[in-house]
Amino acid sequence: MTYADRDKYGMYKTTGKSAGHAGPGPALMGADTLIGDSVVNATDDDLGDIKEIMLDMQTGQVAYAVLSFGGFMGMGDKLFAVPWQALHLDTVNKRFVLDIDKQRLQNAPGFDKDAWPDMADTQWAQHIHSFYGTDPTRPGAPSMGPSVAMRGTAGGAGTGVGAGMGSMGAGHAGSTGTGAGSAMPGGGAGGSVDPRPGTAGSDTDLSKIRGSNIG
């Protein structure tokens, strides 16, 4: 099932043939609809799915997506906190992309479902963000838009801009930290390809989305 299949209230339904958009989504989405969404990497390997979304109660930002990598390389008995800004929302296939090589993923910091870490601990957060190449001091949202071919791997020396991603910001996790899109106007995750029907993939019609408190 995708987030569209879990939409109980019609958030993602087209409101009319001439409306040109589908309600608030995917710029604003119901958290419950994202639980269970599949996650793949840049080479389309199925990594697993989202089990939980962690909110920072002081800022109102989404901090982490908690993933289970399922049976991927024998990692199914652990959970993994992935910084929200390390993900890319593929609005065509209605799934998330985590740009990380499967060999590197074997070294991802995880935890047992019965022994959750203190996610408010600064040292723990630094370790997680360092692994995924994201910036713990900058709130950010996943880049979003049509399916894209991203280059590089998480933790590599990439520039943080996936091939064909245009002005999309966070979504590629390079170790230099430049993958966060922090140099882009307005901060946050920068602009994203407009996901509305009829505009997907257009370089001339961009939906500017800032941070994970989109609005």
Rounded distance, CA 79 to CA 71, Å? Answer: 12
- Peptide bond before residue 26 is cis, with ω within 30 degrees of 0: yes
Q: What is the pLDDT of residues 62-106, one digit of tens each?
A: 999 999 987 667 676 789 999 999 999 999 999 999 998 878 888
User: Do the Cβ atoms of 172 and 150 come closer than 8 Å?
Assistant: yes
CA angle in degrees (0–180, nearest 5) for 178-179-185: 75
Element (H, E) at 80: strand 79-83
Q: What is the pLDDT of residues 116-168, one digit of tens each?
A: 999 999 999 999 999 999 998 887 778 888 876 554 334 443 333 333 333 33
Question: What do you get for the CA distance between the two ends of the chain, in Å?
Answer: 27
Taking Cα atoms as reference points, which of 18, 9, 149 lies closest to residue 88?
Answer: 149
144: helix, strand or coil: strand
- The secondary structure of residue 123, as a DSSP letter, is H
| Structural domains of the chain ordered from first start | 31-208 (2.30.30.240)
Runs of H (alpha helix) within the chain: 31-34, 102-105, 122-132
Residue 174 — pLDDT band, cuts 50, 70, 90? Answer: very low
Q: What is the pLDDT of residues 7-19, one digit of tens each?
A: 888 888 865 555 5
32: helix, strand or coil: helix
- Whole-structure pTM value: 0.68
- Peptide bond before residue 109 is cis, with ω within 30 degrees of 0: no
